[in-house]
Chain A
Amino acid sequence: MSGTLDRRWIYLGMMLAVALPILWNGVTGKTFPESPTPPSQACFDAIEALPEGSRVLMSFDYDPASEGELSPMATSLMRHLMHKRLKPVVIALWPLGPTKAEETIANVIKGDFPDRVSGKDFVNLGFQTGGEGVLKVIGTDFRKQFPLDRSGTPVDRLPIMEGITKVGDFPLVITISAGYPGGKEWVQYVSSANPGLVLLAGVTGVQASQIYSYYPGQLRGMLAAIKGAAEYEALVSAAIDGDRVTPPLYTEARRRMAPQLFGHLLLIALIIIGNAVYFSQRGRKAVAQ
């Protein structure tokens, strides 16, 4: 069977396992309840602990390939920062990161917090090439790597950048990363060199196992894959919306948990069926011999 089953049936099964829950979400608007794991709760608590007006460095280290997992994290994190009246300074170590940042800023800040002013309440400083080289330099001279914001204004003229000379001047740094450079490099070159700095990371499922090694020492909190994003999203929604209905923009991660559930169940079923066939064939061969 394992040799003869047309893989197109498996593909069809996966398509249905993902598509039907998406349709169910769309029709009913329901999502599964989420209870936060310690790494997600730690992310929420770290942001809650900051006093109003604190500046937070937020690095968009991903591209569209990983946006399914990471964009909901970025959206929830930005919403939480804005709600707490914190001031995000956005950078990117990936060439397509600034565009993802612009999308998040447009959706969250311009959509729901239109009173916030660019350069005063938030700023996008864009992409800088060099990977860990950039992180090494901003450890001692932030403006050397990011002298202008995305619109070409010198950072010396931005109120949000007053007093910021190095990365250690930020009380909190958040990286949303899909690979290299990303969470690991932020730990190695920023967190380790600045013991007082709090580092949070939102990472893809593939990266999570590696990044987990740095939690909770060099990495105060971590959002691991879409599950971590859903847990954090639930925490933020509970804090901001309470009993009110959460706008759809802020339920993206939780809406992706139903397709994930049925996708995982299909995988488990396929593995069990494959093993059952394997052992029955092996048993028959042993009897025949």
Chain B
Amino acid sequence: MSRSIALLICLLGGLTMLVSPFLPMATEWSNEVTDWFNILAAMAFVLGGGSLLKVQLMRLSARGPGWGYSAVTLLAFIVTLWVGLGKVGVVADPSAPTVAWSGKPDDEGSAFWWIYLYVMTPITSTLFAVLAFYVASAAFRAFRAKNLEATLLLGTAFVILLGRTFAGVVLTGWLPDWASGLRLENLAVTIMDVFNTAGNRAIIIGIALGVAATGIRLLIGLDRSYLGGDA
């Protein structure tokens, strides 16, 4: 019974979204369906938090490899949640200076703001920056012109790497106007504009057809994997 209800909701929601671009009266219905989706998306934050707690607590209690990381994750999660929900250190809003908690949790000067600025920002920026070191090491060890395809890829990489910097101008800026298409910066644009676009559009169209097929399978109940189990 519960599965039938879920299938019915999926069918009605899907059909509403499908017909709304063609029926003006269905536009409001599709907005309602999207609202449900947004509410579910917001609930997913709670579900995600619960899942994180469960997984990390299990790893911590089992004392398996890397349990220390789980402890740090849990500590960070609980402290951030407490600081955000409790509005720790929040400065009162000027419109209501006598009302406690009237400011926003992430206003400048609050503990949440401090965590964001001095913990979150440096950590995420550092993680992203470290990629440059790994890419350099990987390029040295793995990027080999072993066959024609790999050689073409290598050549393309060189053009893009040089064309996206001032090196392109220095190396090929002397080319006359009638050969300006061969300047590295212009070659880089051509590669992105022609070859990359052609390949990507083919992929995007292929994905769109796949999404349409999957959507139809979901609507008519052939694909029930989203219900979980062996439905």
**Size class of the A contact interface (CB-based, 8 Å):** 35 or more
Contact B120 A271 (CB under 8 A): no
User: Does any Cβ of B come within 8 Å of A265's Cβ?
Assistant: yes
* In the complex with contacts A213-B204, A274-B141, A137-B161 CB distance below 8 A: no
**Size class of the B contact interface (CB-based, 8 Å):** 35 or more
Q: Which residues of B contact A261 (CB under 8 A)?
A: 165-167
Contact B106 A137 (CB under 8 A): no
User: Does any Cβ of A come within 8 Å of B91's Cβ?
Assistant: no
Q: How many A-B residue pairs have CB under 8 A?
A: 146
Contact B104 A150 (CB under 8 A): yes
Q: Which residues of B contact A273 (CB under 8 A)?
A: 140
User: Does any Cβ of A come within 8 Å of B15's Cβ?
Assistant: no
Cβ-neighbour of B145 out of A15, A130, A224, A275 (below 8 A): A275
Known contacts A5-B140, A32-B166; 19 additional CB pairs below 8 A are A2-B140, A10-B140, A11-B137, A18-B132, A64-B121, A65-B124, A130-B34, A130-B37, A133-B41, A140-B31, A209-B196, A257-B165, A263-B136, A264-B162, A264-B164, A268-B162, A270-B139, A271-B158, A275-B143
Contact B139 A68 (CB under 8 A): no
Contact A99 B116 (CB under 8 A): yes
Chain A residues in the interface with B (C-beta under 8 A): 2, 5, 7, 10-11, 13-15, 18, 32-33, 35, 37-38, 63-68, 96, 98-99, 128-131, 133-134, 136-137, 140-141, 144-145, 150-151, 193, 208-210, 212-213, 224-225, 227, 257-258, 260-261, 263-268, 270-271, 273-275, 278
Contact A213 B37 (CB under 8 A): no
Q: Which residues of B contact A210 (CB under 8 A)?
A: 200, 204
Q: Which residues of A contact B196 (CB under 8 A)?
A: 209, 212-213
Residue on B nearest A261 in the bound complex, by CB:
B165
11 contacts between A and B (CB under 8 A): A5-B140, A10-B133, A10-B136, A131-B41, A133-B37, A137-B38, A144-B31, A263-B136, A268-B158, A270-B140, A274-B143
User: Does any Cβ of A come within 8 Å of B54's Cβ?
Assistant: no
Chain B residues in the interface with A (C-beta under 8 A): 21, 27-28, 30-31, 34-35, 37-38, 41-42, 45, 93, 95, 104, 106, 116, 120-121, 124-125, 127-129, 132-133, 135-137, 139-141, 143-145, 154, 157-158, 161-162, 164-167, 169, 185, 189, 192-193, 196-197, 200-201, 204
Q: Which residues of A contact B201 (CB under 8 A)?
A: 213
Cβ-neighbour of B165 out of A63, A208, A227, A271 (below 8 A): A227
Contact A267 B164 (CB under 8 A): no
Q: Which residues of B contact A151 (CB under 8 A)?
A: 93, 95, 104
Contact A271 B143 (CB under 8 A): yes
Cβ-neighbour of A129 out of B45, B129, B144 (below 8 A): B45
Cβ-neighbour of A271 out of B41, B154, B169, B197 (below 8 A): B154
